Amino acid sequence: MKRCFIYIRVSTQEQAEEGYSLGEQEERLKKYAEAMEWKVEHIYKDGGFSGGNMERPALKQMIDAIKHGKTDIVLVDKLDRLSRSQFDTLYLIKKIFNENNVAFVSRAEAFDTSSSFGRAMVGILAVFAELERERIKERMSEGRQGRLKEGKFRGGNTVSYGYDYAPNLGYLVPNDYEKPNFLDSGYNIVFSGNLGNKMFSLLQTYFIALH
């Protein structure tokens, strides 16, 4: 008898607007697994979590159990219960399920990666996942360009030395400590000799964040 994990998810908004509860999903999937003669090893529940990302406690626990070889099948009620991101769905299927010899089954769409049709659907999903990724990159680029046109900081993980980012303004503002400190260091180097090596070292220290 094949071992089965059931994964169910509902966001707070979905439950409020559609009445799409965890209990309803669980009941349908238990019956489905019984009809398929699969042994339900565990039911993973993410209540009140969005499917837009993978930051979900039960999903993470399930991934860990899959990597330890504790199931043969992952069963969901609909594809979007696993994720609303095509890119994340493809990642889970190819990098988590397939690489650990686990079949993925979605009841509503009759999606089963253990079948030839299901494997073909993974290829189609990959095309849409790539499209989704490119659209995200385009939106991010457009957002940065828009901020530049408005004279605002374009974003990123680093801020130039001597400045702080003021989120309420959207601009970089001078750091009253760092800028004088840097200028004093430069002044001392100029008048202490060995200008080339010391200035190079100072620039490495203070401007490594510039890009």
Q: Which sequence positions are flagged as catalytic?
A: 11
CA–CA gap between residue 19 and residue 82 (Å, rounded): 18
- Among 118, 86, 104, which Cα is nearest to 6's? 104
Residues 6+ apart with CB under 8 A from 155: 143, 144, 147
Residues in the chain: 211
- Please answer whether residues 106 and 77 qualify as being in contact, where contact means their C-beta atoms are separated by less than 8 angstroms: yes
Name residue 148's amino acid.
L
Q: Is 180 helix (H, G, I), strand (E, B) or coil?
A: helix
